[in-house]
Amino acid sequence: MARDKHKWRLACVLWLGMFPGVHGQADDGVLSILSWGGAYERAQQAALFAPYTNATGISIEVAQYDGGLEDLRRAVAEDEVPWDLIDMTRSEAMVACAEGLLQPLSPTLLAPAPDGTPPEQDFVPDAFGRCAITHSIFATVVAYRRDAFPGTRPDGIEDLFDQQRFPGPRALQRTPAVNLEWALLSYRVPHEELYGLLSTRRGLDLALERLDDLENIHWWEAGDTPPRLLSEGKVVMASGYNGRFFDAMVNRGVPIEILWDGQVQEHETWAIPRGAPHPETARDFLRFATTTERLADLARHIPYGPARRSAAVRVTTHPDSGVDMRLHIPTHPLNAERALTKDEAWYAQSLGRIQEYFQAWLEAREAQ
């Protein structure tokens, strides 16, 4: 991740250097967007960025990041925000909004559905935050190599922790989020109570105990790592974003399968940082990128659930492979049967403490 970060930081510096007087100017024909890179960015490029440039003549510069708010905090503090729009997870948007790093957004800037349905009724519940608007719903899921477990295959999230039946190394994200949820779900606690239980010392201990039982964990940070580890055969099961796994599976033919049980759904949002150079253009793009047509098109390129109902029913096939995308989006009823929605309010308030606790455990584990 460190290398990736440097890469985009360098890109930003170069880019800022090229336009020394860019700060504070509006409508100079460029929009800077901070997004996640990889297959995700390629899909956005095809479904959102290129069509927007075609329609308006405004070119789009894209910088990549792996989440996290440190750079945004620093940029806002130094009053040198290079981005007009940030593609962020809702939990980070909530934190950033509470810290005053983002501009308030009103749902009134959104377009109605083609049949005239107003956005309030068309978007999924809780899509409108104070400073962020949900455009897609993605999931963190477990994927496994199809050839790793002859004669059997994992069918529940508890199988992630069962190295006797499903032997082999795992790759997990180096964060408490999702890992703690799955670890506690493997004790078969009901979804509704999960975050209440994780709020107790006992629940955290139980979850970490489960994680501790895993031998040979590869910790990943950048979203493209888990599909790579799987395709290289370095791990047999890995957590990761469903879009990345789909990309590896369909576009690159990696022999993996997604385990939808226990998928953790998250909202991906658009947010405009405080001090963005081109806030008006950013709002215009936001309206464009959240129309039914664009959202449906985005879901054809990367299997994220569109935040609009009118878009979800319009999702068709993958443009290159012809795969029916509806079966690959996390919100499809078949996939969403035992889905967990990440409690982002909980994370927004307590991530620091959870992180500390997780970090201490991680250091103790690695010291062994």
Positions in the binding site for another protein (CB under 8 A)? 187-193, 195-200, 202-203, 206, 209, 345-346, 349-350, 352-353
Q: How far is the CB of 208 from another protein (least distance, A)?
A: 13
Of residues 146 and 165, the one with the C-beta less far from another protein = 165
Of residues 12 and 198, the one with the C-beta less far from another protein = 198
Q: How far is the CB of 345 from another protein (least distance, A)?
A: 7
Q: How far is the CB of 192 from another protein (least distance, A)?
A: 4
Of residues 200 and 321, the one with the C-beta less far from another protein = 200
Of residues 36 and 195, the one with the C-beta less far from another protein = 195
Q: Which of 224, 297, 226 is nearest to 40 (CA)?
A: 224
Main-chain dihedrals φ then ψ at residue 348, nearest 5 degrees: -60, -35
Q: How far is the CB of 257 from another protein (least distance, A)?
A: 23
Of residues 80 and 209, the one with the C-beta less far from another protein = 209
Torsion (CA) 113, 118, 124, 126 in degrees, nearest 10: 140
Q: Are 228 and 38 in contact (CB under 8 A)?
A: no
Q: How far is the CB of 365 from another protein (least distance, A)?
A: 19
Main-chain dihedrals φ then ψ at residue 18, nearest 5 degrees: -70, -30
Cβ atoms within 10 A of the Cβ of 30, count? Answer: 17
Of residues 39 and 354, the one with the C-beta less far from another protein = 354
Residue type, 239: S
Q: How far is the CB of 23 from another protein (least distance, A)?
A: 34
Of residues 90 and 145, the one with the C-beta less far from another protein = 90
Q: How far is the CB of 346 from another protein (least distance, A)?
A: 6
Q: Is 310 helix (H, G, I), strand (E, B) or coil?
A: helix
Q: Are 127 and 297 in contact (CB under 8 A)?
A: no
Q: Could you tell me how far CA 25 lies from the centroid of its own chain?
A: 31
Q: Are 83 and 33 in contact (CB under 8 A)?
A: yes
User: What is d(CA 345, CA 6) in angstroms, rounded to the nearest whole number?
Assistant: 30
Q: How far is the CB of 335 from another protein (least distance, A)?
A: 21
Main-chain dihedrals φ then ψ at residue 260, nearest 5 degrees: -80, -20
Cβ atoms within 10 A of the Cβ of 135, count? Answer: 25
Q: Which of 332, 353, 355 is nearest to 139 (CA)?
A: 332
Beta bridge partners of 136: 268, 306
Of residues 193 and 215, the one with the C-beta less far from another protein = 193
